Structure 1
Amino acid sequence: MTTKILFASNKLGDITNEQLQQMLNQHNLGELISAIKTDNGAMGQTMFVHSSKGEFVLKGNPLFPGQFEEEQFFVNNISKCIDVTVPTPYFIGTTNSLFGWSYAIMPRLKGKHLNDIEVADKLMSEDKKQIAESMANTLMQFHSWRVDVCGEFDPNTNSLKEFEEGYTRWLYDRIIYWVEDARKYSEITLDDMKWVENVLQQALNAFDQFNTPTFVMGDFKPGNFLIHDVEGDWKISGVFDFTNAYFGDPLADLIKIITMYIDYDELDEAKHFLKIYIAKTDKKEGIIQRLKVHMLMQRTLDWGCAKAIGAVTWDMNMSFSVWAEHYLKTLEDIIRGIE
């Protein structure tokens, strides 16, 4: 399901006002005022819809069967047991006849993106630390949802499906798969492969001892949450897009934020983010090793994607292992700096 779908794009195509009004009628959401496709929506799947009853987000043309049912499951459960604002109620269309594909519609959350110019330009150092703290606290809220086994939600059975060969094998196989995939678009040498295998081997014991699976959003990044300023205090006002969610090691959710901080050379903010999160973590054993493997996973995906679409922003002559090692080493230095 979601853990197997990483690179895909189903666009909405042309949508008429008549179709949108029919959709609003089906869910008693008022009269259409305006609609516009989002600039940074989930792979071209989203549109803002403004009606007489409020502002909504239309998400359509799913990447895989059951995408919206799966996301609805996570949204509904989070809204009931976790203190994080998510887009609920999350309605799913009962038929494909209206647009030619299935869809979901949900309330548009309030707030601004962290990378919006009008926000980014006025953030001071203290503001950035407030946001880092809010991100850490939001993730701790998410990770308070604990389950018995690592796996993913299966919309066909409406239940949690355990990873057949265990979490460690699932994660390690996934990394090797995407390293092999990256070899189609770039040079991955034997030395690179040995380096990857060494990183995985060094963390094997830490993962074998991991036994507290939690909800993992799978795509926690600035594009998927909104922030607002409440009397000088910056906080996350809402989180959305749970297409990549599953149950496993919660540390995986920290990686995209840490990567952002490293790329922007905001290491003090990275330390603050990790310090807040780790201080509230029950079990601290093996954190560095596990985080390094999750960073390796993300670096593998980012390397392969950049090479495939010609969007490389680093030295073209740099090997994969040298490039990725920089992030793993910086991550380790950040953690050592707060211990």
Structure 2
Amino acid sequence: MTAEIIFGSNKLGLINDKQLQSVLDKFKLGKLISSKSTDEGAMGQTMFVSSTEGEYVLKGNPLYSGQFMEEKFFIDNVNSRTNIPVPRPYIIDDSEDIFGWNYVIMPCLKGEHLNSKPLQIKLQLEDKLKIAESIAEALTSFHTWKVNDFGELDPKTLTIIPFKNTYSEWLFKRILFWVTDAKKYSRITEEDLKWVHSLLAESEDDFNHISSPSFVMGDFKPGNFLIYQSEHGWEISGVFDFTNSYFADPVSDFIKMITYYIDNNETDIAKHFINTYYKQHEEEKNSIRNRIKVHMLHQKTLDWGSAKATNTVTWDNALPFSEWAVTYTTAAEKILE
């Protein structure tokens, strides 16, 4: 399920103090002080829990069977393979006696979200550049985890299920499926489809020549990591929510951060972020430029379909799909120049 696109959400619902204290008692985590829903992340599956023993995050009501075992697999591997802080111990309770569904309790990591308004107010240009470097270094560290097959994790066996056919075929088919699906909620013209097909055709060789698949976090965005200013400067103080992780082209992990910078008129920060990553991948620069346009197209296809289906469009509703999406693919390409 790691590479599946999940639009639904199993929210926690109403949880009382007695239930939370039962969790704390079960794992000897102290007496409950307070609890509240998290502002970001995990599609309504998480809440903060404060006790006499510390600060925790409860994550429950899984989206699919094996979600938590799968996430624990990625967290444990990231912890052993990198220096990136992740929420450990990641304690899974498979029983359903407390809530009616299974759950996880994990430590709450220190730091703030990059997109928090109080933090953004005080950040200077130098701070933002340093944070961009830290993000690039974290992703570089993630992507050192290489495997033999492009694919997703089987949550039952914790082994990689290879994608059918080639990775480019899997990715291109996925994009075309969601472009076609968007016809249910919006107007997709023949010109839109021609543009999509041309963009895919231009990059096919680059995808077919990726040397080896890497671990891909799958949802690297401000809501899923924390930053902290230590005595050594800004650093990533925590990364979480590995539900969408799989093994493929590491370049796809750039997209949500590039989009964040574009939407906040910070293309210079985005360029610094990419250039920091390039320092160790200079020989791939042209290939990465071509691949990143397709990954941006993939994300914008999902964003378009979701916004149109839910009537939450934040742009000119009259814009054709290709005219709207090309602003992002072109901006991403310029950032990589």
| 1:295 paired residue number | 296
How many matched pairs? Answer: 336
Quote the offset at 1:232 in angstroms. Answer: 7.3
Quote the offset at 1:310 in angstroms. Answer: 1.4
CA–CA distance in structure 1, aligned partners of residues 71 and 269 of structure 2: 31
Quote the offset at 1:198 in angstroms. Answer: 0.6
Paired residues for 1:318-329 under 5 Å: 318-329=319-330
Quote the offset at 1:179 in angstroms. Answer: 0.9
Quote the offset at 1:282 in angstroms. Answer: 6.6
Paired residues for 1:194-213 under 5 Å: 194-213=194-213
Residue 65, structure 1, aligned to residue 97, structure 2: no
CA–CA distance in structure 2, aligned partners of residues 141 and 43 of structure 1: 26
| TM-score (norm: length of structure 1) | 0.96
* 151-160 vs 140-149, which moves further: 151-160
- Name the SS of the counterpart of 1:234 in structure 2: strand
CA–CA distance in structure 1, aligned partners of residues 131 and 194 of structure 2: 38
Quote the offset at 1:283 in angstroms. Answer: 4.7
| 1:187 paired residue number | 187
Paired residues for 1:1-40 under 5 Å: 1-40=1-40
| 2:55 paired residue number | 55
Q: Deviations over 1:255-292 (max 9, x none)?
A: 01111111111111011001001112275051111101
Paired residues for 1:1-339 under 5 Å: 1-231=1-231, 233-281=233-281, 283-284=283-284, 285-336=286-337
CA–CA distance in structure 2, aligned partners of residues 88 and 283 of structure 1: 36
Q: Deviations over 1:189-246 (max 9, x none)?
A: 1110111011101100001111311110000000000111124722211111101000
| 8 Å CA contact retained: 1:228, 1:235 | yes
Quote the offset at 1:27 in angstroms. Answer: 1.7
Q: Which amino acid aligns with 1:123?
A: L
* 224-233 vs 40-49, which moves further: 224-233
Quote the offset at 1:97 in angstroms. Answer: 2.0
Quote the offset at 1:158 in angstroms. Answer: 2.0
- Name the SS of the counterpart of 2:122 in structure 1: coil
- Name the SS of the counterpart of 1:156 in structure 2: coil
Quote the offset at 1:92 in angstroms. Answer: 0.6
Q: Which amino acid aligns with 1:267?
A: T
**Identical columns (%):** 53
Alpha carbons of 1:327 and 1:41: their partners in 2 closer, same or farther (altered >3 Å)?
closer
| 8 Å CA contact retained: 2:151, 2:161 | yes
| 8 Å CA contact retained: 1:41, 1:47 | no
| 8 Å CA contact retained: 2:41, 2:241 | no
CA–CA distance in structure 2, aligned partners of residues 283 and 308 of structure 1: 41
Q: Deviations over 1:91-116 (max 9, x none)?
A: 11031121111111111000011111
Alpha carbons of 1:297 and 1:151: their partners in 2 closer, same or farther (altered >3 Å)?
same
Q: Which amino acid aligns with 2:310?
A: I
CA–CA distance in structure 2, aligned partners of residues 254 and 231 of structure 1: 27
Unpaired stretches in structure 1, ≥5 consecutive residues: none
Quote the offset at 1:5 in angstroms. Answer: 3.3
| 8 Å CA contact retained: 2:41, 2:224 | no
CA–CA distance in structure 1, aligned partners of residues 39 and 287 of structure 2: 39
Unpaired stretches in structure 2, ≥5 consecutive residues: none
The 4+ residue runs of structure 1 with deviation greater than 2 A are: none
- Name the SS of the counterpart of 1:256 in structure 2: helix
CA–CA distance in structure 2, aligned partners of residues 286 and 170 of structure 1: 18
Q: Which amino acid aligns with 1:44?
A: G
Q: Deviations over 1:154-211 (max 9, x none)?
A: 1111211111222111111111111112111111111101110111011000011113
CA RMSD of aligned residues (A): 1.2
- Name the SS of the counterpart of 1:50 in structure 2: strand
CA–CA distance in structure 2, aligned partners of residues 281 and 56 of structure 1: 38
| TM-score (norm: length of structure 2) | 0.97
CA–CA distance in structure 2, aligned partners of residues 26 and 163 of structure 1: 40
